[in-house]
């Protein structure tokens, strides 16, 4: 399931949403621009309701949750109709708990040891976070030779200008970022601008 989510497009939008009523128009704006996944971060009180509204109102959108840091949140996301979860990191307790909920998870890693620990558990696709601050493209390039079996979705500091460079690396399946649908564009209902940004993002190409 996570491989399918990551293969759905070159960019996974990372979304901070203040009002659940904006969720369906937002999802429709992204879909109109060719973006078929949405990571709604659990950083606002309305995030779960937003996931629920997209899951029931936009069947073409693969909606999931970001910033999952507890097993309880993973269960709430599943109950809301989310089809995947993303965490900035990974702990034993989080992985055990999320496995119980059955929500497919994309875990975050920053160091080689964290990446190896996830691979030991069978997770060969992971989020590299915070991508720019944690070493950027040079760091992730260096990981490929010793760990050629790992695949990444880097997130943090990526935008329309530098996304193509990240996507040119052979072990990057997609990138994540908030630039497509930043909170201010959502709250001001600038959905045409979001569609424009989604269109530009979905036209980016992976190396393969």
Closer to ligand 3PG by CB, 59 or 184: give it. 184
Asked if residue 176 lies in contact with residue 132, where contact means CB atoms within 8 angstroms, the answer is: no
**In the bound complex, what is the minimum distance in angstroms from residue 177's beta carbon to ligand 3PG?**
4
Closer to ligand 3PG by CB, 129 or 191: give it. 129
Closer to ligand 3PG by CB, 9 or 176: give it. 176
Enzyme catalytic residues: 39, 127
82 backbone dihedrals φ, ψ, rounded to 5°: -65, 145
Give me the helix-helix angle, 191-202 and 23-32, nearest 10°: 40
**In the bound complex, what is the minimum distance in angstroms from residue 204's beta carbon to ligand 3PG?**
14
**In the bound complex, what is the minimum distance in angstroms from residue 16's beta carbon to ligand 3PG?**
7
| Residue 119, CA distances (Å) to 52, 94, 100, 112, 126 in order | 31, 16, 19, 10, 9
The per-residue b/e assignment along 98-107, b for 16 or more CB within 10 angstroms, e otherwise, is beebebbbbb
Q: Residue 97 is encoded by which pair of tokens?
A: 């708990």
Among the listed residues 116, 63, 61, the one whose alpha carbon sits nearest the alpha carbon of residue 90: 116
Task: Give the distance, in angstroms, between the CA of residue 69 and the centroid of all CA atoms in the same chain.
Answer: 14
Question: Contact residues for ligand 3PG (CB under 6 A)?
Answer: 14, 129, 155-158, 176-179
**In the bound complex, what is the minimum distance in angstroms from residue 86's beta carbon to ligand 3PG?**
9
Asked if residue 183 lies in contact with residue 47, where contact means CB atoms within 8 angstroms, the answer is: no
Closer to ligand 3PG by CB, 79 or 184: give it. 184
Closer to ligand 3PG by CB, 81 or 89: give it. 89
**In the bound complex, what is the minimum distance in angstroms from residue 110's beta carbon to ligand 3PG?**
12
Among the listed residues 173, 164, 191, the one whose alpha carbon sits nearest the alpha carbon of residue 15: 191
């Amino acid at each position: 399931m996570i491989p399918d989510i990551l293969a759905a497009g070159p960019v996974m939008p990372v979304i901070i949403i203040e009002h659940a009523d904006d969720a369906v128009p937002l999802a429709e704006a992204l879909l109109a621009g060719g973006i078929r996944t949405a990571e709604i971060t659990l950083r606002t009180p309305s995030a779960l309701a937003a996931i629920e509204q997209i899951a029931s109102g936009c069947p073409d959108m693969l909606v999931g949750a970001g910033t999952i840091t507890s097993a309880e949140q993973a269960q709430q996301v599943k109950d809301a109709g989310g089809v995947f979860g993303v965490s900035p990191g990974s702990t034993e307790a989080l992985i055990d708990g999320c496995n119980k909920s059955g929500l497919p998870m994309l875990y975050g890693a920053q160091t080689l040891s964290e990446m190896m620990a996830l691979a030991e558990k069978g997770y060969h696709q992971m989020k590299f976070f915070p991508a720019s601050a944690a070493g950027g493209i040079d760091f992730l390039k260096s990981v490929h030779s010793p760990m050629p079996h790992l695949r990444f979705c880097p997130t943090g500091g990526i935008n329309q200008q530098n996304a193509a460079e990240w996507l040119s690396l052979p072990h990057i399946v997609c990138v994540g970022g908030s630039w497509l649908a930043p909170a201010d564009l959502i709250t001001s209902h600038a959905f045409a601008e979001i569609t424009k940004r989604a269109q530009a993002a979905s036209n980016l190409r992976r190396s393969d």
